Structure 1
Amino acid sequence: MALDVLNPTPEYLAFWRERHVCTLTTPRPDGTPHVVPVGVTYDPEAGLARVISNKNSKKIRNVLAAQGSPTGPARVAVCQMAGRRWATLEGQAVIRTDEASVAEAVARYAERYGRTPSPNPDRVVLEITVDRAMGRA
């Protein structure tokens, strides 16, 4: 079921605050989907979903490769499910490397997942500008 990304239901927002392992789907250079488990945070006020990662990971390389392709920025999706509840956020992804963006993403991750990731000088943020939301929460 499609949802208004600017006005999601309280149940949908609550579901995105619960601790769940999610999936991230990025396009490989050949167009096929690359799906991996990740932690995701959702900031509905900013319209952003964030995934922290190592700058050398395949998911980050996929997003960076798409930025230089004729199709433009990578469209990606993050999804989570628990029983009959599910939620998907879609949008264009960019990679943030600046210290402030990484710190913000780590703090949000720590809040949602109850643990602060160990320091990683190679950490970056895959930031999704959400333009589509679906689910049943």
Structure 2
Amino acid sequence: MIAVTGHLSGFLAEPRVATLTTLRADGSPHVVAVRFTWDQGSGLARVLTVAGSRKARNLVAVPGGRAALCQVDGFRWVTLEGPANVHGDQERVERAARHYTERYSGPPPNPAERVVIEIAVDRITRLNV
């Protein structure tokens, strides 16, 4: 598991938006702005979405396919990468919603067919963080 400490830990705790990159079936990147959470204890970055979203469908098509989250603030940035899976079970979705509420000081949207993307972070790149 990758350890995140110091300034990096603080940066990932800031309530910012990031981009999530997944790959379409033709190999082209799908990039979308998302809110996410980082869980140092499990090594997971989590993104709540709906099952029918392009990002979720890209990952369902290739279970364990890689995804990347990039949080930017001026000339500071961090990218979290790793294999990603989509989960719809209530316990995982509720855990993601709790973490989201803590980070963003309010609950996430609760649409029908809500799922969570979990990225098992195995690579971190960064600048000035």
TM-score (structure 1 length as normaliser): 0.89
Separation in 1 of the partners of 2:12 and 2:99? 12
2:2–2:121 Cα contact (<8 Å) kept: no
Q: Does 1:31 align with 2:22?
A: no
2:73 is aligned to: 82
2:117 is aligned to: 126
The DSSP-based 3-state class of the residue aligned with 1:19 is: coil
Shift of 1:134: 1.1
Give runs of aligned pairs for residues 98-137 of structure 1, distance below 5 A.
98-136=89-127, 137=129
Separation in 2 of the partners of 1:63 and 1:48? 16
> Residue 111 of structure 2 aligns to which amino acid in structure 1?
N
The DSSP-based 3-state class of the residue aligned with 1:46 is: coil
Q: Does 1:92 align with 2:83?
A: yes
Gaps of 5+ in 1: 68-72
Shift of 1:113: 1.1
User: Cα deviations across residues 1-57 of structure 1 (Å, max 9, x unaligned)?
Assistant: xxxx62223110110100111000001001111000000100111110000001110
> Residue 55 of structure 2 aligns to which amino acid in structure 1?
K
Shift of 1:94: 0.5
> Residue 9 of structure 2 aligns to which amino acid in structure 1?
L
The DSSP-based 3-state class of the residue aligned with 1:15 is: helix
Shift of 1:119: 2.6
The total of aligned residue pairs comes to 128
> Residue 34 of structure 2 aligns to which amino acid in structure 1?
V
TM-score (structure 2 length as normaliser): 0.94
RMSD: 1.1
Shift of 1:61: 0.4
The DSSP-based 3-state class of the residue aligned with 1:14 is: helix
The DSSP-based 3-state class of the residue aligned with 2:48 is: strand
User: Cα deviations across residues 54-99 of structure 1 (Å, max 9, x unaligned)?
Assistant: 11100000001112xxxxx211100011012101000000011110
The DSSP-based 3-state class of the residue aligned with 1:126 is: strand
